[in-house]
Structure formats: C-alpha cells, structure tokens
Amino acid sequence: MNTEITGIIVSFVLTVLLAYPLGKYVAKVFGGEKTFFDFMKPVERFIYRISGINPAQGMNWKEFLKAMLSINMLWFVYAFFMFLFQSHLPLNPDGNPDMTPDLSFNTAISFITNTNWQNYSGETGVTYLTQLFVITFLQFLSAATGIACLVGLFNGLKEKTTNNLGNFWHILTVTVTRILLPICIVIALLLAFNGTPASYDGKDTITTMQGYTVQVSRGPAAGMIAIKHLGTNGGGWFNANSAHPLENPNYFTNMLEIIAQTLIPIAMIFALGFYLKRKKFAYVIFGVMTVGLLCLVIPTVISEIHGNPEIAKMGIAQATGAMEGKEVRFGPAASGYWSIITTIISTGSVNGMHDSYMPVSGLMQMLGMLVNGFYGGCGVGILNYFIYIIIAVFISGLMVGRTPEFMGHKVEAREVKIAALVTLLSAFLIKGGLAIASYTLLHYGNADWAYKPSGWLNNPSYHGFSEMMYAVTSANANNGSAFAGLTGNNIFWNVLLGLIILLGRFLPIIGPIAIIGIMAKKKYVPESAGTLKVDSITFGAMTFGVIIIVTALSYFPPLVLGPIAEYFGIK
C-alpha cells in the first residue's frame, strides 16, 4: 500500500514539474513570441487562406462567442449525420450498425462539448471511421475551444482597457497545431510501444487459458486515447475505458494517462501567471485548487484502502482494500486517486468502475463535479473558477463598503448578475434533471415505454438515487463518467442528458466571456491602498470559502438522499 501512495505522490509531482514549463510555453504561443513549433506557420496560413480567415482581426466578446457557437453548431450537424449513417460508410471491418436518432443526438452533443458521455459500447457502437474522423476530430477541437475561450479571458485581463479578446479562429488553430497535436504524438507513441493497438485490423479471435474462444476488438486506438486524456475528453475506445488492458496496459501507462489528463489544466494556471505577468496570482489559484484536490483525494484513498465495513463484519479479511470493480494491476489507492482526478478535471475516463466505489468515494467524486473548478477541463476549469472569483470579489466589496474591483476594473451589478445566473442555472440543471428522472421513475416505472423506466437502475434505494444524481451531475460538468448501474441508452436519458450537457457546456463559457468583455471596456482603475489584493492568501481563502458555501447550499439536500445516506446505512 505504501508503494501505491508513493505512486500517487510521484504522479502529481511529475505533473506539476511538466506543467510549469508547458505553461511558460503556452504563454509564449498566445503572446506571439517565437517558439520551437513556428515551423507550423505555413500549415496555419493554409488553413486561414482556405477558410477566408484574417488571423490578425480582433473580436469583441460578442463576435468571439458568435464564432465559437457557430462552428460548434456546424460540428454538431456533421457528427449527428455521421453517427446516423456510419454503417454505410467505409472503415467498418467489424460491421457495426448505425446509431439510433436519439443516440446520435446524445453522442454528437457529448463530443462537441468535451463531455464524451457514452451511451454506447466503444467496440460495437462506432466504426473506425467515426472513431477517428468524428470522435477523435472533435476531441481535439472541443479541447481547443475551451482553451481558446480561456485565452479570450486572458486577453481581456491583459490590457488596461480593450474591446479585443483576440481572434477565436487563430487561437483555436494554434492550440491544435502547436500544443495539442505535438504532445499527443508523444503520448500515442508511448502507448503504442506499451501495447495499445495502433492498426486498422478488425477483431481478432483468441483462445483463453480456460479454453474459451473470444473476439477481441482492436483498431487505431493509441492516438485517440492520447487526445482523450490530454484534451480532458475521456471517451474510451473500449467500453471498459482505461480499465481495459489494451487501453491502459500497465502501471506506466496508468501514470502516463493520469499525468496527461492533468497536464494542460495545471499548465493553463501557470500560463495565466506568465501571460498576465501575475505569477503570484496564479500561485494563489493553484494553491486553492490543490487544497480542493487534497480535500477530495484523501478521504477517497482512505475509504478505498479500508474497504467495506459490512464485509469486515462477516469476518472476511480485506487486506487489499475495496477491490470490487477495480483493477488488481493498480489497486484501490491508485484507482481512488484516478477517480478524483478524472472528476475534478472533467475528463471522465475511468480505470475502475465508479459504481463500485465506497459511498464516501462516490460523494467525493460528485463533489468534484459539482464544484467543477478545481483545475477543471482544458480552459473551462479556470473559466468556472472565474465565476467564483467574481462572487468572492463582490462579497469582499460588500464587507468593506467599497465598489468591488478586479485587476483594475470595477465589478458592478451586471457582471455579478451574470455570475449568479451561471451558478444558479448549474444547480437548476442538476436538481431539475434529477427531479424529472425521479418523478418519471416513480410514476411511470412499470409503463411499457420504449425506454422502460423500471429497467433504468440496477440498484434500489440510496445507491439507485446516487446513480441518477451522478448521471445529471456528470452531464452538467461535461465529465462523461458514470455510475454504470444506470442504463442510459434509451430515449429519455439520451435526450435529457443531451440537453443538460449542451447547456452545461456553453452557459459557463458564455457567462465568463460576457463578464470579461463588459469589464475590459471599462476605464482602468489604478491600484491604491484600498484595492483588493487578489494575489493574497487571504483572498484565496475567501474564494475557497465561497466555493464551499455555494456548493453546500446548492447540493446538500440531494447528496443527503444519495451517497451520505448510503454511507450511514453501512456505517
């Protein structure tokens, strides 16, 4: 067990050591400074030329959002029809069928939003063509979209007074060509050399040691798995995701994948410091987010190491901890660490089945998604955290009787209303979706519908409620992981979660971009003795307090009905 704890510490330390220089590099890329990958400029110029884009043309916040939303709408239409007719297209050696319209709707929304919620099995639900030219394609672009929107926020904060958040198309392009693609090539090569498939062969027939004949899916998985983690996407090539021995062959690849999914979210924090020349502010943000991580990881690891007390009461030893639903290759501690990283980062990939984790672990996983601001996904993690900052600045201003200011710009009623609206709408989507699901299950559970509510849940009582709450929470947080006891591939869940995913993705992006667009146009207010120091430990603690209070007030009642009640039920 000590070895597992050491592995967790080493994984996190390596992530930070790699993220710091990457953050400096990212700041140079978006600052227009010379970098090693300047040789990609001809490729970028070609993209701009055929697309009719002027990369030097600035955009205000409305133009920036218009560009972002319009291209995402186009990607949705493209993905929807590709999934709908995939069996009629090439690169389908296993003969996988078309998706139904409701599943196509859900999957297309899921992958344009960086959620990668999968109501299908990776081996049988999609073809090699849609895996590569829809799913992998969107995994690059959805990650780049989040980063581009964060850079727009950076640009609004960088200048004293500006109406220019940068050119969305230019930022999107260089994010792919100079950040995501080069790192993914390295990760994919490391995965391939460790046993992850990278060919276009169809299923292989093997005979097990017990004498059974089984079909094993293969395919060009290494590249997709690289971007699924680096881009905090999370969708698995295989249905078992990173618990599958071909998707995550050994402990080295387990560390590689956990580092990959944490790398850019942490690097973007450091990039903020370098880009805005406010490194101390970046360190405060990193400190708050790391404390949040520890508050979730420590209870999870302890809970998984100690195992289920009900089994202990039966006189059965649990020397290896709570291993049900987990890979013996990784163990309960490393699996617990992964489960928290993947939920706070919004990756959603799994190396163990979250439905099998202890109630405390499930609670911590849900809290990570409910906060959705501890590191978070590519770009959007800091955008979510920015909402908490605005609320913290507003409350701090009220406490001292002074108009709130943030980095030289007054925070007034309009900005606070937007921040409050984003926070309230997230709670509405989660609790509203959960209420609709619970009502439908209770009142129509025996109805002979196409989606048969009585067959949704594999577990009754508190854990069944937790399965539904986890689903709507994961959808709103654009996470994509699930308590697998919930059967989600039906009309009800495909449509409900699709709508929650869509709103959960774009509202927390539109809000911060609108706020920074409004603030950046205001007259710059020089710092004075009364200026709120946002790069102080005190303000960091204030922000952390706001996160705890907002989350507790919003979600404590449904958490009591789910994982908390389940915990006391087995205590």
pLDDT tens digits for range 468-527? 999 999 999 999 999 988 888 889 999 999 999 999 999 999 999 999 999 999 888 887
The pLDDT of residue 103:
95
Lowest mean pLDDT among 169-183, 206-220, 538-552: 206-220
Query: Is residue 360 one of the residues assigned to a domain?
Result: no
Residue 25 forms part of a structural domain: yes
pLDDT-based confidence at 143, cuts 50/70/90? very high
What Å distances lie between residue 40 and 51, 177, 261, 388, CA to CA? 17, 7, 24, 37
- Calculate the average pLDDT of the chain: 90
Flag whether 117 is in a domain.
yes
Identify the weakest region by mean pLDDT among 197-201, 424-428, 525-529: 525-529
Give the integer Cα–Cα distance in Å for 32 and 487: 48
Q: Indicate if the pLDDT at residue 437 is higher than 70.
A: yes
**Residue-wise pLDDT tens digits, 8-32:** 999 999 999 999 999 999 999 999 9
Residue 182 has pLDDT above 80, yes or no: yes
Both structure tokens of 464 = 């069944």
Q: Is the pLDDT of residue 119 over 80?
A: yes
Q: In percent, how much of the chain has pLDDT > 70? A: 95
**Confidence band for 101, pLDDT divided at 50, 70 and 90:** very high
**165: which strand partners?**
none
Residue 310 has a pLDDT of: 67
Confidence of residue 388 (pLDDT cuts 50, 70, 90): very high
Quickly state the pLDDT bin for 224 (edges 50, 70, 90). Answer: very high
Q: How confident is the model at residue 312 (pLDDT cuts 50, 70, 90)?
A: low
Q: Indicate the SS3 state at residue 376.
A: coil
Q: pLDDT tens digits, residue range 527-557?
A: 777 777 888 999 999 999 999 999 999 999 9
Mean pLDDT score, 49-70? 94
The residue-averaged pLDDT of 319-324 equals: 70
Query: What's the one-letter identity of residue 224?
Result: M
pLDDT at 314: 60
The answer to whether residue 320 scores a pLDDT higher than 90 is: no
Contact (Cβ atoms closer than 8 angstroms) between residue 488 and residue 471 = yes
Q: Which residues contact 545 (CB under 8 A, 6 or more apart)?
A: 392
pLDDT the model gives residue 111: 95
pLDDT at 504: 95
- How far apart, in whole angstroms, are the C-alpha atoms of residue 300 and residue 165? 40
Evaluate if residue 568 carries a pLDDT over 60.
yes
| pLDDT tier at 319, thresholds 50, 70, 90 | low
Inform me whether the pLDDT recorded for 316 exceeds 80: no
Residue-level pLDDT at 335 = 92
Residue among 84, 101, 106 at smallest CA distance from 495: 106
- Asked if the structure places residue 269 within a domain, the reply is yes
The predicted pLDDT at position 317 comes to: 52
- Name which of 48, 121, 150 is nearest 484 in CA terms: 121
pLDDT band at residue 447 using 50, 70 and 90 as cut-offs: low
What pLDDT is stored for residue 235 in this prediction? 87
Q: Are 188 and 225 in contact (CB under 8 A)?
A: yes
Confidence at 122, pLDDT banded by 50, 70, 90: confident
**What mean pLDDT comes out for the span 54-62?**
94
Count the domains in the chain.
1
Q: Given this model, what pLDDT does residue 313 score?
A: 61
Which runs of E-coded beta strand occur in 103-237? 204-207, 213-216
* Domain presence at residue 318: no
Lowest average pLDDT, out of 251-255, 296-300, 532-536, goes to 532-536
**C-beta neighbour count of 29 within 10 angstroms:** 20
Q: CB of 131 within 8 A of CB of 99?
A: no
Within a domain: 468: no
Residue 487: count other Cβ atoms within 10 Å of its Cβ. 15
- What is the pTM assigned to this prediction? 0.94
Length of the chain: 571
Which pLDDT score is estimated for 159? Answer: 87
Residue 407 lies in a domain: no
178: containing domain = 2-276
pLDDT band of residue 239 (cuts 50, 70, 90) is confident
**CA–CA separation, 335 vs 327, rounded Å?**
8
Write down the pLDDT at residue 199.
Answer: 85
Question: Max CA-CA distance within the chain?
Answer: 78
Give the pLDDT score at 454: 67
Which residues make Cβ contacts (< 8 Å) with residue 178, sequence separation at least 6? Answer: 29, 35, 37, 40
Residue 565 lies in a domain: no
> pLDDT grade, residue 315 (50/70/90)?
low
| Residue 456 confidence class, pLDDT cut points 50, 70, 90 | confident
Do residues 237 and 125 lie in contact, with contact meaning Cβ atoms separated by under 8 Å?
Answer: no
- pLDDT computed for residue 446 by the predictor: 62
DSSP characters over 492-543: HHHHHHHHHHHHHHHHHHHHHHHHHHHHHTSPP----TTS--TTSHHHHHHH
